[in-house]
Structure 1
């Protein structure tokens, strides 16, 4: 499933979009997601905390027994923010921890993100 955010939106609207995305993924049995956030100029710390504490656990539960896999396509600016902002550093480290019941990886190149999402037997 490919989801692209093209405009800025208030936090509550973005949360609603995440729930809509999950509903569509569950209905279609899509557990491999490309999340394109390249047009965002920032991700509020509150959103990062919410996806880690609320959205991802619910998504994992609803997608079970399939493992949720997310390739996050971001801009160089966002990559820098993830490494320089202390709150984002903490949230990204939490999400990327291999102990999580989902897989997530960050990319600046869409081709590499799509390759990562391909099933192992097709690589």
Structure 2
């Protein structure tokens, strides 16, 4: 095995036991790579009718503001429509990226998504992220 090969950009796995689509990012993507990756994510979610997502972005170092705007205004609302219910996304982030995200102008907390067709939240611990998704499953299954 050649250890010089870069990690795959993203790995998807649907956890049927948890009803969670898990996406683990292998490295920081170039913004031009993202449309194809999000199309793959869309297909995986639609195939499983998965409205609860764990996005492990701990290997990423920054968020592209244009991509973030597109996710919040187009992709997540469209995914909720295609999945026939509210979409819940738990982001698992490293400390530096988490600080960057929450200190960015325009950052809004999870509560600010109450009137949106999706909810997102950020976590430094995978167990806490999964627990949040499970609480959403039991509290808001039909939402």
TM exceeding 0.5 = yes
Correspondent of 1:109 among 99, 122, 125: 125
Point out 4+ residue stretches in structure 1 off by more than 3 angstroms. none
State TM-score, norm by structure 1: 0.85
Q: CA deviation at 1:56?
A: 1.0
Would you say the 8 A contact 2:63–2:101 is kept in 1?
A: no
Q: Pick the structure with greater CA Rg.
A: 2
CA distance in 2, matches of 1:46, 1:11: 9
Q: Which has the higher helix share?
A: 1
Higher relative contact order (CA 8 A, sep 6+): 1
- Give the structure 2 partner of residue 76 of structure 1: 95
- Cα RMSD, aligned residues only: 1.8
Q: TM-score, structure 2 length as denominator?
A: 0.74
Counterparts of residues 22-61 of structure 1 (less than 5 Å): 22-61=42-81
Residue 20 of structure 1 deviates from its aligned partner by 0.9
**5+ long unaligned stretches in structure 2:** 1-20
Deviation, 1:35, is 0.5
**Residue in structure 2 matched with residue 19 of structure 1 by the alignment:** 39
Structure 1 residue ranges without an equivalent (≥5)? none
Count of matched residue positions in the alignment of Structure 1 and Structure 2: 116
Q: CA deviation at 1:93?
A: 1.4
Name whichever structure is richer in strand by fraction. 2
Alpha-carbon distance, 1:94 to partner: 7.7
Alignment match, 2:108:
93
Q: CA deviation at 1:8?
A: 2.1
